[in-house]
Structure 1
Amino acid sequence: MDSMMMDMMSKDMMMPGMAELDMAMMQSCMDACSACEQACMVCSMQGMDCAPACMNCADMCNTMMRAMMRMQGMTPAAMMSMLDACIAMCAMCMDSCMMNADASPVCSMCADACKACMEACTAMRAAMM
């Protein structure tokens, strides 16, 4: 998403009881979710035993991005819960993919994307507190 659109959105993306969100941090989190979703989709097509975790993680990352784009009606508690769920799903997928990382560069890449997404979601969550 380009910076002009993020600037326009920042005026409308206020959650009750919270200061204005850091749009650069939010963009970073959405980018990490997008990269993780894509890596998980590629990884899930390998037929490895991590495929179910990858598909679930891809779905969670996609849902997290959509929720961040549609902030109207989102409460801080709901957003924190969504971030917690995304972090947990990425951790599970990363652990699953790490078991195959030596045999599959795709699994290794997916695990790295999951870790980056966890870090971005954790930073976003910390900024909201």
Structure 2
Amino acid sequence: MMDAWRTNMSSMPDASMMDMAAMDMSVLQACMDACSACEQACTVCSTQMMDCSPACMNCADMCNTMMRAMMRMQGMTPASMMAMLDACIAMCQTCMDECMEHAAHSDVCRMCAQACQACMDACMSVRAMLMPA
């Protein structure tokens, strides 16, 4: 019974899956690069033991998850990708806001806030690419 279900499901086209051929891979790559840079900056910033450390650790985790999801988008639905992008944007915003409170006296926090902004911008570009015309 399960084998018949799998055969049926695998032969059916799924319009909800991401169409990789229609996507601008340079936009995706830029977003993955920005997520990676943000993850690294947040990881460094989290070691500074300032009030922003928890937000930085959470942002680093979110950026890592976003980057990994984008590297294996097969099977990702547009709705789930949009939710992931929205979560990454929100986490970067939270982290950036926290780090900006220390940016005047911490180069690390300033760098982290800039990386968060770049990641948000890149995620918003991917999000715009996925929005129906």
Tell me which interval the TM-score lies in, with the shorter structure as reference length: 0.7 to 0.9
Q: Percent identity?
A: 71
Which residue of structure 1 lines up, in the alignment, with residue 105 of structure 2? 103
- Provide Cα deviations, 1:13-67, integer angstroms capped at 9, x if missing partner: x963646211000000000000000000000000011000000000000000000
Which residue of structure 1 lines up, in the alignment, with residue 37 of structure 2? 35
1:1-129 to 2 correspondences below 5 Å: 16=17, 18=19, 20-129=22-131
| One-letter amino acid of the structure 1 residue matched with residue 17 of structure 2 | P
- Relative to structure 1, the CA distance from residue 17 to residue 60 in structure 2 (aligned partners, 3 Å threshold; closer, same or farther) is closer
Superposed structure 1 runs of 4+ greater than 6 Å apart: none
SS of equivalent residue, structure 1 residue 46: coil
Would you say the 8 A contact 2:41–2:112 is kept in 1? Answer: yes
| One-letter amino acid of the structure 2 residue matched with residue 16 of structure 1 | M
CA-atom RMSD, angstroms? 1.5
CA distance in 2, matches of 1:33, 1:96: 18
Tell me by how many angstroms 1:70 deviates: 1.0
Number of residue equivalences? 116
Larger radius of gyration: 2
Unaligned 5+ runs, structure 2: 1-14
